[in-house]
Chain A
Amino acid sequence: MAKTMAYRIAGETGEWEVVIGLEVHAQVVSNAKLFSGAATAFGAAPNSQVSFVDAGFPGMLPVINEVCVEQAVRTGLGLKAQINLRSVFDRKNYFYADLPSGYQISQFQQPIVGHGTIVLDLADGSTREVGITRLHLEMDAGKSLHDQNPTKTYIDLNRSGVALMEIVSEPDMRTPEEAAAYLRKLRTILRYLGTCDGNMEEGSMRCDINVSVRKPGEKYGTRTETKNVNSIRYVQQAIEYEAHRQVQVIEDGGVVVQETRLWDPNKGETRSMRSKEEAHDYRYFPDPDLLPLELDAAWVEDIKRTLPELPDEKKARFMADYKLPVYDAGVLVAERSRADFYEEVARGRDPKMAANFVIGDLLGALNKTGADIDSSPISAAALGGLIDLIADNTISGRIAKEVFADMLETGKPAAQIVEEKGLRQVTDTGAIDQAIAAVMAANADKVAEFRSGKDKLFGFFVGQVMKATQGKANPALVNEILTAKLKG
């Protein structure tokens, strides 16, 4: 089922395949930091959420936050990954102004989570599996502000020590679109699990991109790592740029250098980050301040039992139980709150009609205002009320669109709008008979044409009758009576 869209870069020496792996740093949702009791909230005053541990003061010792461990395990379980009951924290040594202790506490050879899998949902409805190599826990560094002073960099350590999950994929992706689908799916899963808010703008999800190129079928080429990519769109652009650059280098007779590069969103290009090169010798060693992290298998099982229904399972259920097409199911499960909203609307109602209103009408309208479904002006119950009016023939589907627009604007219940505006559908055959008789009398010539075989005019009569009844006549009844009358 995995349709591989062959994405190739056309070079002078033939076509090149692009090989992509992603490293995502996902900020763990927790109140306090990974190894200290300082707060993690975004946007606080400089250095106001910093303990002496986070500032790397001498003699301060790290004590691990149990919820951060739980969140990492929960994420591992959500990625169908192996949970390592014993993992080890190491020191990753480098000097940088935003890293006060001179080392980052991370996990190197024994991460808390091992191999897992993510299923990508591609635009054509097909799916594709991408391997997860590992997930490990580590602390974040502080934040450098370069634009506050012409000669100085300001350092804020509020982020220092906040728990991150570094999630590393296998080099399984072959197109920029797959990389985007991977990030979207990972973000969806993290949000379902409640382990990371997935907000790329605030930096709570950051992405490093490993890219290499090769002739199809040959072994992997040398890869580069591009950092500082903070939106899915930029990830796609950076991959395209970097792949083309590497093809150019090789075809010009050069070799790709394994290096760290920086994405420049203003210029739309990647460039070498030379200062990071010599820092790459991290001299990892086990952190003597921290014992190995040992988990109880029963505790892991307890967490597993509290996992929510995940997007893949929900999508399969929506397709099976509600008979929704793959596209509808995919759109609805992309956000947990959206799926919950839909299910409330669909309960006891026509599921396809509910999906059409949620996706086509409501999401479309929310998109225009940039709101999400949690702040929808129309509640699930109210939308359900509108659908009920269609189901019991109070209004037609056409009038429902008008009522929906009114609900969006006024927040009034559908039934009230229908009453106030007199939109109730006319199902009284007498009234419809009258309207039809009037239309036929006023268009005697067209009636004659119709009777002499011009069948296409039927639509014209329906239109006239609907117009005469302000769209309120029940369309099925109009069709039925009109057919009988015209045949005379």
Chain B
Amino acid sequence: MSLDKATVAKIAHLARIKVPDSDLEQLAGELNTIMHWVEMLGEVDTQNVEPMTSVVAANLRRRPDAVTDGGYPEKVVANATDATENFFSVPKVVE
């Protein structure tokens, strides 16, 4: 697998990272190097091996259906760049 400039530009856009066109070539090279390195894992035969999801035997922990949190809107919006009456306020996004 090999990344071209256009793919790198698309990934950057999807991740909302601003990358100047002049940097795309170099970034593609770096990402390709990383991917080739990771692809070494493909040498291991994992045909009949279940994906490992935890290093210890554990089950997904569950919570009871009880209201134990919330009720602090001012803390929720405390770090907002713009807040109005406990709403987050953002530039208009509507079609």
> Which of the four size classes fits the interface of chain B?
35 or more
Q: List 13 A-B residue pairs with CB atoms under 8 Å apart, sorted by A's residue number.
A: A31-B67, A38-B70, A47-B87, A54-B70, A66-B62, A145-B87, A152-B91, A154-B84, A154-B87, A154-B89, A278-B14, A291-B59, A293-B60
Please determine whether B60 and A39 come into contact, CB atoms closer than 8 angstroms: no
Q: How many residues of A contact B (CB 8 A)?
A: 55
Please determine whether A47 and B68 come into contact, CB atoms closer than 8 angstroms: no
Please determine whether A63 and B61 come into contact, CB atoms closer than 8 angstroms: yes
Please determine whether A291 and B94 come into contact, CB atoms closer than 8 angstroms: no
A-B pairs with CB below 8 Å: how many?
133
In Å, the complex CA distance between A392 and B87 comes to 65
* Chain A residues within an 8 Å CB radius of B54: 291
Q: Which residues of A in the span 245-281 have a Cβ within 8 Å of any Cβ on B?
A: 262, 273-275, 278, 281
Please determine whether A151 and B73 come into contact, CB atoms closer than 8 angstroms: no
In Å, the complex CA distance between A36 and B73 comes to 15
Q: A145-B87, A290-B60 are in contact. Are A153 and B67 (CB under 8 A)?
A: no
* Chain B residues within an 8 Å CB radius of A52: 76
Instruction: Render B61-83 as a binary contact track against A, CB cut-off 8 A, 1 for contact.
Output: 11111111111010011000010
In Å, the complex CA distance between A54 and B63 comes to 15
* Chain A residues within an 8 Å CB radius of B77: 47
Instruction: Render A125-150 as a binary contact track against B, CB cut-off 8 A, 1 for contact.
Output: 00000000000000000001110111
Q: Does A202 contact B (CB under 8 A)?
A: no
Please determine whether A66 and B84 come into contact, CB atoms closer than 8 angstroms: no
Please determine whether A32 and B89 come into contact, CB atoms closer than 8 angstroms: no
Q: Does B21 contact A (CB under 8 A)?
A: no
CB-nearest residue of chain B to A66: B62
Please determine whether B63 and A66 come into contact, CB atoms closer than 8 angstroms: yes
In Å, the complex CA distance between A61 and B35 comes to 29
* Chain B residues within an 8 Å CB radius of A283: 14
Q: What 4 A-B pairs come out closest when comparing CB atoms?
A: A37-B68, A67-B65, A38-B70, A37-B69
Q: A38-B67, A63-B63, A291-B60 are in contact. Are A273 and B95 (CB under 8 A)?
A: yes
* Chain A residues within an 8 Å CB radius of B62: 63-66, 69
CB-nearest residue of chain A to B64: A66
In Å, the complex CA distance between A375 and B76 comes to 40
Q: Which of A38, A50, A281 has the most CB of B within 10 A?
A: A50
Min Cβ gap B41→A in Å is: 16
Q: A37-B66, A291-B54 are in contact. Are A151 and B60 (CB under 8 A)?
A: no
CB-nearest residue of chain A to B67: A39
In Å, the complex CA distance between A282 and B36 comes to 24
Q: Which residues of A in the span 51-101 have a Cβ within 8 Å of any Cβ on B?
A: 51-55, 63-69, 93, 95-97
Q: Does B58 contact A (CB under 8 A)?
A: yes
Q: Does B33 contact A (CB under 8 A)?
A: no
Q: A63-B63, A69-B62 are in contact. Are A48 and B89 (CB under 8 A)?
A: no
Q: Which residues of A in the span 283-302 have a Cβ within 8 Å of any Cβ on B?
A: 283, 286, 290-294
CB-nearest residue of chain B to A272: B95
Please determine whether A144 and B93 come into contact, CB atoms closer than 8 angstroms: yes
CB-nearest residue of chain B to A50: B76
In Å, the complex CA distance between A281 and B13 comes to 11
Q: Does B23 contact A (CB under 8 A)?
A: no
* Chain B residues within an 8 Å CB radius of A476: none
Min Cβ gap A194→B in Å is: 13
B68: which of A32, A93, A273 is its contact (CB, 8 Å)?
A32
Please determine whether B69 and A36 come into contact, CB atoms closer than 8 angstroms: yes
Please determine whether B89 and A152 come into contact, CB atoms closer than 8 angstroms: yes
B76: which of A37, A55, A291 is its contact (CB, 8 Å)?
A55
Please determine whether A65 and B65 come into contact, CB atoms closer than 8 angstroms: yes
B73: which of A46, A53, A64, A286 is its contact (CB, 8 Å)?
A46
Q: Does A45 contact B (CB under 8 A)?
A: yes
* Chain A residues within an 8 Å CB radius of B60: 64, 290-294
A97: which of B71, B76, B90 is its contact (CB, 8 Å)?
B90
* Chain A residues within an 8 Å CB radius of B59: 291, 294
Please determine whether B93 and A153 come into contact, CB atoms closer than 8 angstroms: yes
Please determine whether B84 and A291 come into contact, CB atoms closer than 8 angstroms: no
Q: Does A30 contact B (CB under 8 A)?
A: yes
Given A49-B71, A157-B88, A290-B60, 9 additional A-B pairs, CB 8 A = A32-B67, A46-B86, A97-B88, A144-B93, A152-B82, A153-B91, A155-B87, A156-B87, A278-B14
* Chain A residues within an 8 Å CB radius of B70: 36-39, 48-51, 54
In Å, the complex CA distance between A150 and B65 comes to 39
In Å, the complex CA distance between A48 and B85 comes to 11
Instruction: Render A4-28 as a binary contact track against B, CB cut-off 8 A, 1 for contact.
Output: 0000000000000000000000000
Please determine whether A155 and B88 come into contact, CB atoms closer than 8 angstroms: yes
* Chain B residues within an 8 Å CB radius of A38: 67, 69-70
